[in-house]
Chain A
Amino acid sequence: MSSIKPKHQRLVLVSLALVAIIAAGLLAAWALRTQADYFYLPNEMMDEPPEVGRAVRLGGMVAEGSIERLPDGVTVAFVVTDQADARVPVRYAGILPDLFVENSGVVAEGSLGADGVFVADNLLAKHDENYVPRELKEMAEHQGASGPQQTVVGYE
């Protein structure tokens, strides 16, 4: 051991310290894994529903053809879905974000009602990772990125 150069000894020590730091970071991230989730997915909300009235967030896609304006003129009803085909009905009265369209991501802040309908008091639109110019929207239609017809009408 006495033949090891101090330079190499420091390299080994620093490497060991780095491994320990990374392991600690990964453990912390793993322990946080669900607490740090920003919202419930629809299937999580159906499997383990939060208490009625507790403030939570629900995130997913707005199901196609589900947006419906109720007769009072301000309330909108729609369904939030995910890849697992879980569906949670949502009711929201208020101003809709510009990017709120069918087949697009949404995060609803509110609470689950006793009747299983999620009552939102705030809606956030979630943008996906696709960036497509407006002129190319027909191509986006083929890629199934979104329902461009409504999105463009909704934007303009």
Chain B
Amino acid sequence: MHGFANPTRFLKLARWLTPLLLVSGMVLVAGSLWWGLFHVPPDRLMGETVRILFIHVPSAWLGMGGWSAIAISSLAYLVWKHPLAAVAARAAAVPGMVFTAVCLATGSIWGRPTWGTWWEWDGRLTSMLVLLFLYFGYIALSQAVAREGVSPKIAAIFGLVGAINIPIINRSVVWWNSLHQPASITIGKSAIDPAFLTPLLIAVLGFSLLFGGVVLARMRALLAQTQAEARLRRMALEAA
């Protein structure tokens, strides 16, 4: 891990890993969605509505996974002071926010025909909405930090403190009576029939690869931006 904290080595690796992740993710996402949308049988109760599962579940997983990435990178930044860790945390925030928003939107569309309501303030739905607001706050804070040129430590602390919401989202359907159903997939067993489970797992893998590719691409862009700014500053000094 410490080896990849070296920006030169990281950029060399990211140059070929980014397109690889993006392309393989896109292929898997397209394949699994085509399978899930057109070739999976309707559910016994939900009928055709079950198809939203193949977008909703990967989005929920990556919405929470995005914040976990922010928290781990923030920890690495605070303890080992790797500058790349701060860049990684910043890069994961926007895709994480997008997936959280997609998760909330698809859940709402599914909830209307299934539950009979667009939105209810139950534990799972509320804690997921809190995650979306945490993303808004984190993105605003990290952009302000970059603009003012102060230490990204404050954003890293925010990333760590916000991580407390992740286990709360995960446990919300166990601790409290909720409208949202409990977890279908727990370690070693699944309440989802294989007809739905196989395309779902492929979709989760595909969206995760896509997420990884986007994070790497954003990290490269942020590093290039820092480099360009440093060069401009140097040129301005030389001209003066």
Interface residues of A (CB under 8 A from B): 7, 10-11, 14, 17-18, 21-22, 24-25, 29, 32-33, 36-41, 59, 97-99, 101, 104, 107, 122-137, 140, 146, 148, 151-152, 155
Residue from the list B43, B121, B179 in contact with A134, Cβ < 8 A? B43
Across-interface contacts of B42 in A (CB, < 8 A): 133-134
With a cutoff of 8 Å between Cβ atoms, the chain B residues found around residue A7 in the complex are 79-80
Query: At the interface, yes or no: B16 with Cβ under 8 Å from chain A?
Result: no
Q: In chain B between 1 and 29, which residues have their CB closer than 8 angstroms to a CB of chain A?
A: none
B145 within 8 A of A: no
B181 touches A126 (CB 8 A): yes
Looking at the complex, which of B96-104, B191-199, B216-224 is the stretch in contact with chain A?
B191-199
- Contact: B114 with A133, CB < 8 Å? no
| Cross-chain contact A133 with B41 (CB below 8 angstroms) | yes
Q: Which residues of B contact A38 (CB under 8 A)?
A: 120-123, 176-179
B interface with A by C-beta (< 8 Å): 40-47, 50, 53, 75, 78-80, 113-117, 120-123, 160-161, 164, 167-168, 171, 175-179, 181-184, 191-193, 195-196
Residue of B nearest to A98 (CB): B113
- Among A14, A32, A124, A152, contact of B117 (Cβ-Cβ < 8 Å): A124
In addition to A38-B178, A127-B181, 19 A-B residue pairs with Cβ atoms within 8 Å of each other are A7-B79, A10-B79, A33-B175, A36-B176, A37-B177, A59-B179, A99-B45, A107-B115, A107-B179, A124-B117, A124-B120, A127-B114, A127-B115, A129-B191, A130-B191, A132-B193, A146-B44, A151-B45, A155-B45
Closest beta carbon of chain B to A140's beta carbon, Å:
6
Q: Which chain A residues lie closer than 8 Å to B176 at the CB level? A: 32-33, 36-38
**In angstroms, how far is the closest chain B Cβ from the Cβ of A110?**
14
| Contact, CB under 8 Å: A22 / B164 | yes
Please name all residues of chain B whose beta carbon is closer than 8 Å to the beta carbon of A32 when the two chains form the complex. 176
Pick the contact of B175 from A29, A40, A124, A148 — CB < 8 Å? A29
Q: Are A133 and B196 in contact (CB under 8 A)?
A: yes
The reply to whether A97 and B44 contact each other, CB–CB distance below 8 Å, is no
CB-CB under 8 A from A134, the residues of chain B are 41-44, 47
**A22, A33, A41, A127: the one within 8 Å of B45 (CB):** A127
- A126 to chain B: which residues have CB within 8 Å? 115, 179, 181
Q: Can you give 9 contacting A-B residue pairs, CB < 8 Å?
A: A21-B160, A107-B115, A124-B115, A124-B120, A125-B115, A131-B50, A131-B193, A135-B41, A146-B44
Q: In the complex the two chains form, is A21's CB within 8 Å of B161's CB? A: yes
Q: In the complex the two chains form, is A133's CB within 8 Å of B45's CB?
A: no
Interchain CA distance A123-B121 in the complex, whole Å:
15
Residues from chain A with Cβ under 8 Å of B117 in the complex: 124
Given contacts A129-B181, A131-B50, contact A97 B193 (CB under 8 A): no
* A residues less than 8 Å from B191 (CB atoms): 128-131
Decide: A131 near B115, CB < 8 A? Known: A38-B120, A126-B179.
no
Q: Which residues on the B side are within 8 Å of A98 (C-beta)?
A: 113-114
A145 shortest CB reach to chain B, Å: 8
Chain A residues, CB < 8 A from B53: 131
Scoring B40, B168, B192, B193 by chain A CB atoms within 10 A of each residue's CB, the highest score goes to B193
Alpha-carbon distance A140/B75, docked complex (angstroms) = 46
Cα distance A46–B79 when bound, in Å?
Answer: 53
Chain B positions within 8 Å of A11 at CB level: 79
Give, as a whole number of angstroms, the nearest-CB distance from A46 to chain B: 15
- With contacts A38-B176, A131-B184 taken as known, whether A152 is within 8 angstroms of B44 at the C-beta atoms is yes
